[in-house]
Amino acid sequence: MAKLVSNVYGDALFELALELDRIDEFTEEVNGIIDVLEENKDLSKMMCHPKIVKEEKIEVVENIFKGRVSDEIVGLMVMVIEKDHFKDMEAVFNYYVDKVKEYKKIGVAKVQTPIELTDAQKKSVEKKLLDTTDYVSFEMHYEVEPDLIGGMVIRIG
């Protein structure tokens, strides 16, 4: 079965980061690129426009990111553009970030409750999750869901 574009390029970037021992550096840069892509939807529209040739798209990416992020990441972005997969660029970087969290044993938990939890309750939930899982830390996301009658819903991953 064919792998998703995000998995192929995300795995390649992760393996390179491991090999070069630059996981934290690459993760910081990738998060910055994700922010840029999310904040500038017009950039994504332009980069996916079929009438703009690949060479121009590559030039735009190099003008924006070269010197601001590592050459390896710019090279990956160029490769993705050359293969006509810019629409998957954000997914590639999100996959990479998820892979880093998995590698560092950082869990992502979404907690839904009918009322706002106090800080003490939030700490208690996080401690319980750490005690009952193999994760060393958690990225916690709390959400008030008034439709819940009671208790809480916890989703990890």
Q: Per residue in 130-139, pLDDT tens? A: 999 999 999 9
The pLDDT mean for the chain works out to 91
User: Given pLDDT bands bounded at 50, 70 and 90, which one contains residue 2?
Assistant: very low
- pLDDT given at position 149: 87
Say how far apart CA 1 and CA 120 lie, in whole Å. Answer: 47
d(CA 151, CA 48): 45
Residues 107-135 have a mean pLDDT of 93
The per-residue pLDDT for 1 is 37
Polymer length of the chain: 157
pLDDT of residue 3: 65
Cβ atoms of 58 and 82 within 8 Å: the answer is yes
- 18 pLDDT higher than 60: yes
